[in-house]
Copies of this chain bind each other. A is one copy, B any other.
Amino acid sequence: MAEAVRHEKTARQLRMLSDALDSGRLGPVRRLVNTLAPAEIGNLLESLPPGKREVVWGLVDPDDDGEVLVHVGDEVRESLLAAMDPDEIVAAVEDLDIDDLADLVEDLPDTVIDEVLKSMDRENRERLEQVLSYPEDTAGRLMNPDVVTVRADVNVDVILRYLRLRGELPDHTDHLYVVSRRHQYLGRVPLAALVTHDGSTPINRLIDDEQPAIDVDASDQEVARRFSDHDWVSAPVVDDNNILLGRITIDDVVDIIREQAEHQALGAAGLDEDEDLFSPVWRAMRRRLVWLFVNLCTAFIAANVVGQFEGTIDKLVALAVLMPMVAGLGGNAGTQVLALMVRGLALGQVSSSNVMVLLWKELRVALLNGLLMGAVLGLIVLAWFHNIGLSVVIFAALTCNLVLAASAGVLIPITLRRLGFDPALASGIFLTAITDSMGFFSFLGLATLVLLR
């Protein structure tokens, strides 16, 4: 309900905007758009079809352009950049934080990248190059090298004087980092400690050195897990020699968590999380075809299984009526087990040490559900076709297929993981390939044995 209310509000805004655009009154649109935060503008642009999207993009305050570009998916970003002059792009991105700029830079035309680099001072250019030297999806790529460091051998008053001279702090600075003369990371001092302790307090009494820093090679998933396990707002990034390289902040981590969730939800349907709602037809079509062809192959295997039993079906057409139910319910039951397993694997809760316990639990659940659902379906079939043999066959086949589905639901994702694939993406296709084929096989095979003796 609350979700619906929020949706209503956004929907109302969208409708107002859409009406104003249709009528060509751009003044109100400009006013509405520029009351929004850059992330909200990004979301709005994603929800506009091409044509309207370019019009609204032209109305965004140029000061927000860079931040908006950071907050949209790759495909939409491409369409926005296509509508800008090189000069506009340079102006939009040159004031971004290093980590945001690093995120954008690969989508920019080469000539624009050169211009941006030229417009930066040497220190920032070197920082950008450093960040870009780390692989995507690692801590090195997420960090911002702009960090406030202090020494341990001073007191609070000295630090406060230094900060007042320095002026503004980088966004989300909740700690200062204490480093050695060689810039090795020693620990962190909370701003909260600086404002609650006397000026004469030595810094080394306020250092929190219990939190290990993040390794520059850590994956973004590892970074997200550590932030959420430890409730961090920011964390230092170091290299192998414990030299402080930069700082990761919670806003980037929130983006990772959101993207990961989208990646799993869309990836399970063979889509990319950067897919534009309004991407061009030929592009959307090409992308989806790959997945449909994989599914065509698995459907073909299942059809082949049915093909082996043409003779049986020919003698009892009711089998053709009922066989999709056995296959479909197996797929549903397997999907439930799969969903639990995929989450367990993502959270690191499932591994070889407990998978057999899980399998045993799921087999028992499946057996009980299979017997119960099988009995219900058997009774329905009895009432429908008045054929007790058919009723027994579907009871047995459904029980078999549910038990098999549970095994597949447990074993497929853990096997994919062991082979180095993402279980969230490919498990579903394998699962239905098995539950379809084996559902048809168990039902038609048993029918051949029992009914056509």
- Seen from chain A, the residues whose Cβ lies within 8 Å of a Cβ on chain B are 1-7, 10-11, 14-15, 17-19, 37, 39-40, 43, 46-49, 137-138, 159-160, 163-164, 166-169, 171-174, 191-192, 194-198, 218-222, 225, 227-231, 233, 250-251, 253-255, 257-258, 260-262, 264-266, 268-271, 275, 277-278, 281-282, 284-285, 288-289, 291-293, 295-296, 299-300, 302-303, 306-307, 310, 313-314, 317-325, 327-329, 332-333, 335-336, 338-340, 342-345, 347-354, 357-358, 361, 364-365, 368-369, 372-373, 376-377, 380, 417, 420, 422, 432, 436, 440
Number of chain copies forming the complex: 2
Residues of the B chain whose Cβ atoms lie less than 8 Å from the Cβ of A171 = 231
CA distance A145 to B443 in the complex (A): 61
Q: Which of B174, B262, B310 interacts with A343 by CB under 8 Å? A: B262
CA distance A352 to B414 in the complex (A): 41
Pair A329/B295 contact, Cβ less than 8 Å: yes
**Given A2-B220, A271-B336; 7 other pairs, CB 8 A cutoff:** A11-B352, A47-B344, A47-B354, A164-B196, A261-B265, A266-B340, A295-B328
CB distance from A202 to the nearest CB of B (A): 15
Pair B219/A6 contact, Cβ less than 8 Å: yes
Residues of the B chain whose Cβ atoms lie less than 8 Å from the Cβ of A317 = 310, 313-314, 320
Pair B10/A351 contact, Cβ less than 8 Å: yes
Pair A167/B196 contact, Cβ less than 8 Å: yes
Q: Which of B264, B277, B365 interacts with A344 by CB under 8 Å? A: B277
Pair A296/B376 contact, Cβ less than 8 Å: yes
Pair B14/A277 contact, Cβ less than 8 Å: no
Q: Which of B164, B173, B264 interacts with A197 by CB under 8 Å? A: B164
CA distance A277 to B335 in the complex (A): 15
Q: Can you name 15 A-B pairs with beta carbons within 8 Å?
A: A2-B222, A14-B348, A15-B352, A18-B354, A37-B229, A47-B349, A49-B357, A228-B258, A233-B233, A277-B344, A288-B365, A289-B373, A293-B373, A296-B325, A299-B325
Q: Which of B159, B160, B299 interacts with A329 by CB under 8 Å? A: B299
Pair B271/A254 contact, Cβ less than 8 Å: no
Given the interface pairs A317-B313, A349-B277, the reply to whether A228 lies near B254 with Cβ below 8 Å is yes
CA distance A314 to B347 in the complex (A): 51
CA distance A27 to B336 in the complex (A): 38
Pair A192/B219 contact, Cβ less than 8 Å: no
Pair A340/B285 contact, Cβ less than 8 Å: no
Residues of the B chain whose Cβ atoms lie less than 8 Å from the Cβ of A18 = 353-354
CB distance from A142 to the nearest CB of B (A): 12
CB distance from A305 to the nearest CB of B (A): 9
Residues of the B chain whose Cβ atoms lie less than 8 Å from the Cβ of A250 = 233, 250, 254
CA distance A282 to B7 in the complex (A): 38
CA distance A40 to B285 in the complex (A): 43
Pair B6/A269 contact, Cβ less than 8 Å: no
CB distance from A81 to the nearest CB of B (A): 20
CB distance from A312 to the nearest CB of B (A): 9
Closest to A281 in B: B364
Closest to A418 in B: B4
